[in-house]
Structure 1
């Protein structure tokens, strides 16, 4: 069943390579065989089509308090087959990364609670915007020089926003992701749809599910896992038969 899940986080200097290894399942993460597809794009020429070199250089030369990358994690509809999910991811990457350097991978791990596959995308993106100026690797991550861009690094696409603007952009991003997923589901004949809104906005009177994590799940007995899975299915089915209240619909629609 398609369910909406999206999160974004930033990584500080010194963490980009490890995250790259995690996403592509290399290095210390190579024992996990979950990668369906991996791809990169928009790298500067000095990388020579080696995305790991880009993140290694960023870890060395990004300023101390600067974010080296943003990571977008998006759950993919299990109703779509692998090629359909790949086509959807291409559209998501175009919208989330644009012309900035990126690396992504599609993971398809088996659920620790139920015998089902949970496909999702990890997208690692640099905030550094291309401007047509060729720079040495170290200069790439210097502070931007507005008076003479050729003397500084690439400008970042993450500064100067107010908290309200950040919130509005996040809401718009969540809606964009849901819209693209629903378009793909409709295109391939599926009636299921996802919704980017919160339970409160949709008038659903239950707490959102909490991510249990692999460690906590590993401590659960077989009976506990079965009970948790059954309760989750019951809550989901219950919500299907209780449409949003008029008050919640009005609140979600805004003034």
Structure 2
């Protein structure tokens, strides 16, 4: 897949580097450094796919020769820590063929580098990647001084501006995406970092040519000796650690996505079921409201009929059914709310009536009218009533109680009765 990679660096004498050596390595040629007399031979480099020097129209003809160009750059720089050249490294999309890759890099270099007065030494490499596929990329070496007549003038400091480099990154992504779009490819690259795009992923460090070569030799030796490969460089160890952390992130992200999809499906099912239940309740309510309106209409019709047939000034007769209140049995409630009713068997109907009485009068109680009178209470009541009747029977005027015999006063021995 197409990836974004663009990196710039300065080739400086302070780091012990040479512009002639860098140009020979990137172009895969044999060049001689006139300042030091050293020969740099990289002509056996196998994966150099294309090389070319792009220069402004005002540049002299000798600057289009690679050896003369970079020897002139070395001669123009006098300081031992001089900045000799600037290199920009691009990753080219795999989806493009050789001609399309060449058109892309030439178009970008002409518009962004040569149009500003730089000379661009372009070399396209296409080695095999770690996955066995193509790994096309471009090395572009740029001069740092302006052109004056037949030679180099002062250095252009504005070319070191960081904002200029950021603009190159953004425009390179646009150029590459337009090339992918022209061939009908859906892949796109983005110049922004993972953090700026909101991607939870750690960027992999660059191994560099030396570390990559050592790691590759170790892998080949391990394969030949039928043993697991070991990490031989610190950069390789760091690169593998970052890869392992990214693998764990991807695994956790996949689990989270599975859980999120499951929750979303559960919520959607719950919403569908709730809507279905709400629709059923709405239909039942509409049926009940229709039954109530129909019942009210019948009652009004009966009342108007009775009022039309009675004499003037007479009280309207109420139908006997109005004073009767139909008990709210389960069957009557079913008829009221439009549910299907079924005739219950006798035992079930008895249990339903018992449950209804328990709900009305309390569990374990029956109406007072249904209680059997206590025998002892009745006998006591009869005895009390008999005693009351006996007490109310009139005696003699002397206060004798019924059945009491008073003594005879005529038999008093005092003679007081004979006077």
TM-score by length of 1: 0.74
Unaligned regions of 5+ residues in structure 2, if any? Answer: 31-40, 231-239, 258-419
Does residue 1:71 correspond to 2:87, yes or no? yes
**Is the Cα contact below 8 Å between 2:201 and 2:246 reproduced in 1?**
no
Q: CA deviation at 1:12?
A: 1.9
Partner of 2:119: 101
Q: CA deviation at 1:47?
A: 1.4
Give the alignment of 1:170-185 within 5 angstroms: 170-185=165-180
Give distance in 2, aligned partners of 1:240 and 1:11. 41
**Is the Cα contact below 8 Å between 1:10 and 1:69 reproduced in 2?**
yes
Q: CA deviation at 1:41?
A: 2.5
**Is the Cα contact below 8 Å between 1:204 and 1:239 reproduced in 2?**
no
Partner of 2:327: none
Q: How well do the aligned residues superpose, as a CA RMSD in angstroms?
A: 3.1
Q: CA deviation at 1:160?
A: 8.8
Q: CA deviation at 1:18?
A: 0.3
Relative to 1, partners in 2 of residues 1:2 and 1:48: Cα closer, same or farther, differing over 3 Å? closer
1:109-160 per-position Cα deviation (integer Å, ceiling 9, x unaligned): 112x2211100000011022235x334xxxx3xxxxxxxxxxxxx1322359
Give the alignment of 1:223-238 within 5 angstroms: none
Q: CA deviation at 1:51?
A: 2.0
> Does the residue aligned with 2:157 lie in a helix, a strand or coil?
coil
Give distance in 2, aligned partners of 1:84 and 1:167. 29
Q: CA deviation at 1:238?
A: 7.0
Give distance in 2, aligned partners of 1:236 and 1:89. 35
Relative to 1, partners in 2 of residues 1:205 and 1:105: Cα closer, same or farther, differing over 3 Å? same
- If asked which structure has higher relative contact order (CA below 8 Å, sep 6+), I would say 1
Give the alignment of 1:6-155 within 5 angstroms: 6-13=6-13, 15-27=18-30, 28-42=41-55, 44-45=59-60, 47=62, 49-64=64-79, 65-98=81-114, 99-111=117-129, 113-131=130-148, 133-135=149-151, 140=152, 154-155=153-154
Give distance in 2, aligned partners of 1:30 and 1:68. 23
Count matched residues.
217
Q: CA deviation at 1:67?
A: 1.4
Max Rg structure = 2
Moved more, 216-225 or 88-97: 216-225
> Does the residue aligned with 2:184 lie in a helix, a strand or coil?
coil
Give distance in 2, aligned partners of 1:47 and 1:160. 24
1:144-178 per-position Cα deviation (integer Å, ceiling 9, x unaligned): xxxxxxxxxx13223596xxxx3322222111111
1:24-71 per-position Cα deviation (integer Å, ceiling 9, x unaligned): 112332222111111102274261631211101211331313311111
1:79-118 per-position Cα deviation (integer Å, ceiling 9, x unaligned): 011111111011221234223222111110112x221110
